Structure 1
């Protein structure tokens, strides 16, 4: 089955800086894709190449098999929602949304009818007469979304549209945005540096670093099986335990002398804080254990994270519903790891 969007070995330079390096990506119809990475990783440059605001130095971009690499933005079957929303301040909400159809030659009455339908999709059907300045940040974001979807493009590009919102509103808008995307069936490509945002909304996440794609996968794959040390460290809070060779096809971890079968080149093992066990009493047979000392206790809401020193390794241990008073810095504990919960990373 032909993908909706094909990005084929796309590269882009700005003077001596290479912003994109042989980027490859396929996006299916109706997919929600998050481009995730730190500032300067190339995610916005890639989005602007897809939108037509930048032209790649090398490679091809296709939509439904058609090469659009050098097509102007207005000839591409997509729309973009910008971080600033870019609403016309002198126009009503309804006229802002109807602007696209009107510019395409649609009669005023029909354009306004389409605009009302788009506003209904984002829950703003009663606010068409207002000016943008009379709306909250979340409402302006939804107007920008309605304006982008009014002509039902094949692909919608979103450049960090939630970044200006406060935390509670941003989380609510994440849920609303995902519901709207599912209702419309339009493919979304969403740029963000917020890992929680990407994990909450995306069908697949594209992790970028240094202009390259480090890994493409579902949120579970990115979190549980990162392809590189960078992905492991960027997504979530990993425990990375150094390893050294222990014979052909074997490594020894810097934790309880634990030995494992491992591919050549494995340099460390990752385990998430919620998978580290605090042992009380006799340890189960499937646990590798070591004694440690609590160095710090951090309680945030229902979750408490302990920082436990086991020799040269500092482990983060996450526990749900444990008060900070139960353990304190300086307390001795026994920590256990299940080999099945470890993910091996080569460097």
Structure 2
């Protein structure tokens, strides 16, 4: 089956800065893709190349089988929602949303009917007569979304549209945005530097670093099986434990004396804080143990994280529902490691 969008070996340079390096990506119809990475990694540059606001130096961009690499933005079957929302301040909400159909030659009555449908879809059907300045930030964000979807494009590009919202509203909008995307069946490409935002909404995440794609995968694959140290450290809170060669096809962890089968070149093992056990008494079968001392206790809401010193390593151990008083700083503890929870990384 032909993908909706194909990005083939796309590169872009600004003077001495290589912003994109041979990017390859395919997006299926109705898929929600998150471009995730730190500032300057190239995610917004890639989005602007797809939108037509930037021309790549090399490579191709194909939508629905048509090479649109050189096409101007208004000739591409997509729309963009910007971080600033870019609403016309002198127009009503209804006229803002109807602007796209009107510009495409649709009559006023039909354009307003389509705009009303789009506003209903984002839960703002009663807000049509208002001006943008009379709306909250979250409402303005939904107006911008309605304006982008009113013509039902094949692809919608979103450049950090939730970043200006407070945390509580941003989380609510994540849920609403995902529901709208699923209802419309439009492919979304969503730029964000927020790992939780990407994990909450995306079908697949594209992790970018220094103009390159580090990894493409489902949220679970990115979290549980990162292909590099960068991905492991950027997504979530990893514990990275050095390993040494222990014979052909095997490595040994720096703690717990645990040996694992491994391909050549593996440098460390990653284990997430929630996957380390606190052992009291005899360890269950299959669990390797390591002694440690609690150095610090971090209790944030329902989650408590212990910072535990094991030799030269400080490991994070996270527990939901632990009060934080059971293991005060200075307490000796025994940590348990399951081999299945360890993921080996080469870089």
Which TM bucket (shorter chain)? Answer: over 0.9
Q: Which residue of 2 aligns with 1:191?
A: 191
Q: Secondary structure at the match of 1:44?
A: helix
Instruction: Give the Å deviation of 1:245.
Output: 1.1
Instruction: Give the Å deviation of 1:250.
Output: 1.2
Q: Secondary structure at the match of 1:196?
A: helix
8 Å CA contact 1:277, 1:336 repeated in 2: yes
Q: Secondary structure at the match of 2:267?
A: strand
Q: Secondary structure at the match of 1:79?
A: strand
Q: Which residue of 2 aligns with 1:64?
A: 64
Q: Which residue of 1 aligns with 2:246?
A: 246
Q: Secondary structure at the match of 1:232?
A: helix
Instruction: Give the Å deviation of 1:232.
Output: 0.3
Q: Secondary structure at the match of 1:125?
A: coil
1:140-155 aligned within 5 A? 140-155=140-155
Q: 2: CA distance between counterparts of 1:58 and 1:284?
A: 56
8 Å CA contact 1:51, 1:78 repeated in 2: yes
- 5+ long unaligned stretches in structure 1: none
Q: Which residue of 2 aligns with 1:324?
A: 324
Q: Does 1:311 align with 2:319?
A: no
1:270-318 Cα shifts (integer Å, max 9, x gaps)? 0000000000111112111011000010001111000111111211000
- Kindly report structure 1 stretches of 4+ aligned residues shifted beyond 2 Å: none
Instruction: Give the Å deviation of 1:228.
Output: 0.6
Q: Secondary structure at the match of 2:208?
A: strand
Q: Which residue of 1 aligns with 2:299?
A: 299
Instruction: Give the Å deviation of 1:327.
Output: 1.1
Q: 2: CA distance between counterparts of 1:15 and 1:300?
A: 45
Q: Does 1:34 align with 2:30?
A: no
Q: Which residue of 1 aligns with 2:81?
A: 81
Q: Which residue of 1 aligns with 2:159?
A: 159
8 Å CA contact 1:245, 1:251 repeated in 2: yes
Q: Does 1:340 align with 2:337?
A: no
8 Å CA contact 1:254, 1:312 repeated in 2: no
Alignment coverage as a number of residue pairs: 347
Instruction: Give the Å deviation of 1:258.
Output: 1.4
How large is the RMSD of aligned CA atoms in angstroms? Answer: 0.5
Q: 1: CA distance between counterparts of 2:260 and 2:201?
A: 35
- 5+ long unaligned stretches in structure 2: none
Q: 2: CA distance between counterparts of 1:328 and 1:98?
A: 60
1:201-229 Cα shifts (integer Å, max 9, x gaps)? 00000000010000000000000000111
Q: Give the alignment's TM-score, normalised by structure 1.
A: 0.99
